[in-house]
Structure 1
Amino acid sequence: MNEEIIIAGFGGQGVLSLGKIIAYSGIMEGKEVSWMPSYGPEMRGGTCNVTVIISDNKISSPVVQRVDTAVVLNQQALDKFEEEVKEGGTLIYDPNGITRHPERKDINIYKVDAARLAVELGNPKIYNMIIMGAILKARPILNDENVELGLKKSLPERHHKLIPLNMEAVKSGSKGVEQVHSI
């Protein structure tokens, strides 16, 4: 297995944290991983993205030209990364704030209304874990036990009490994701 993922959105959506949790979860599964964040000088509200590679083999470079999976959380990310998905790959998006929906016909497309689900669960901070659930439903590359271990590794110990809520968010995202286009 070799899965190249890019997650992109605004700062404050948990993009970088989600990438880190995916990377730690991959480590817990005994995989080789690479985590490479990219963000502008702005903090919250600025654009950011993270590239994560999970592989059974050594990773020669964290730089990718095209990805297997793109997760886009705003219109700017969709505009920039829709064309970066390999033919036959997967694009996952949150339709909240999207004005032009994905148009490609040679990739699998999923949507998850993560913003709405986070409100329904009563905590906007679990937005990124709802996205995690959508990713794992569309691309089952990690198992839930290792995601929980990845959370424990990446969250400060004082926040470990929130792990059950985060795992509930993963389940919510998995149930709430909808396939829009299949190849």
Structure 2
Amino acid sequence: MMIVEATIFAGFGGQGVMRIGQLLTYAGLKEGKGVIWYPAYGSEQRGGTANCTVIIDERRSQVVSPVVKYPTSLVILNEPSLLRFEARLMAGGKLFYNSSLVKSKPKREDIDVYPIPANKIAEELGNVMAANMVMLGAMAAITKVVDIDSLKNELTTIFKGKSENIIKLNELALEKGREAALQL
């Protein structure tokens, strides 16, 4: 059973790395858990590197530090992020990677690996921009850090002012990511 889940989300700017980190944080808050979201940006433009750390503590205690040396999970959206963060994942940790874009195979054998064809799934849904939600749905299904319905319920917060179609697309992307992970 999860006590503290520390996840690093990483990819290029423009892939929605920060958005899925925020969504996970909001869902954890709504479930009454202790949470922290810590963003880190590379270049200040689309295409630069971006990562964020989300820590969720089900004991509802205050999370005291955003710094995580060895995360319990990694959600990797691009090749450079796999190369940068794989070694940091704790032994026995879970590595979720976008197999549509990441062509290298993870090298470690002491971790659980979940290749998710996120771009392919998102394209089938009609919008490649939903690949980030596919990855988050996969991660949530396996780690059970938050309930997938909590993520869906917080989409209106993340996409405030956006159309109902955007929210529905992202709900479906979360669900398709869940399904993909559970089939592995």
TM-score for the superposition, normalised by structure 2? 0.92
Query: How far did residue 168 of structure 1 move?
Result: 0.9
Matches within 5 A, 1:67-86: 67-86=71-90
For each residue in 1:112-156, what CA deviation from the matched residue of structure 2 results, as whole angstroms up to 9, or x when unmatched? Answer: 000001110101221111111111122111112211222122221
The residue aligned with 2:15 is 13
Q: State how far apart, in whole Å, the 2-side matches of 1:148 and 1:100 are.
A: 31
The reply on whether 1:175 has 2:179 as its aligned counterpart is: yes
CA distance in 1, matches of 2:165, 2:118: 22
Q: How many residues align?
A: 179
1:26-45 to structure 2, matched below 5 A, reads: 26-45=28-47
Aligned to 1:49: 51
Q: What is aligned with 2:115?
A: 111
Alignment check: 8 A CA contact 2:101 2:119 kept: no
Q: How far has the Cα of 1:97 moved from its partner? A: 3.0
Consecutive unaligned residues in structure 1, runs of 5 or more: none
Gaps of 5+ in 2: none
- Of residues 15, 20, 24, the one that matches 1:22 is 24
Q: For residues 10-51 of structure 1, what are the alpha-carbon distances to aligned partners after superposition, in whole Å with 9 as ceiling and x for unaligned?
A: 011100000000000100100111001111133111111010
From 59, 62, 67, the counterpart of 1:63: 67
Letter in 2 for 1:6: I
Contact 2:28 2:56 (C-alpha < 8 Å) held by counterparts:
yes
| Structure 1 counterpart of 2:7, one-letter code | I
Q: Name segments (4+ residues, structure 1) moved above 6 Å.
A: none
Partner in structure 2 of residue 138 of structure 1: 142
Cα distance in 1 between the residues matched to 2:117 and 2:13: 18
Distance in 2, Cα, partners of 1:150 & 1:89: 26
Residue 91 of structure 2 corresponds to which residue in structure 1? Answer: 87
> 1:129 maps to which residue?
133
Q: 1: distance between equivalents of 2:161 and 2:78?
A: 31
- Per-residue CA deviation, residues 82-113 of structure 1 (Å, 9 max, x unaligned), is 01111111011012232321011111110100
Preserved CA contact (<8 Å) 1:16 1:37: yes
Aligned partner of 1:30: which letter?
G
Whether contact under 8 Å (1:95, 1:111) holds in the other structure is yes
Query: Taking every aligned residue pair, what percent have the same amino acid on both sides?
Result: 37
Q: Distance in 2 between matches of 1:80 and 1:169?
A: 26
Question: Is the Cα–Cα contact under 8 Å of residues 28 and 35 in structure 2 kept in the other structure?
Answer: yes
Deviation of residue 160 (structure 1)?
4.4
The answer on whether the counterparts of 1:35 and 1:50 sit within 8 Å (CA) in structure 2 is: yes
Deviation (angstroms), 1:175: 1.5
Structure having the larger proportion of residues in strand: 1
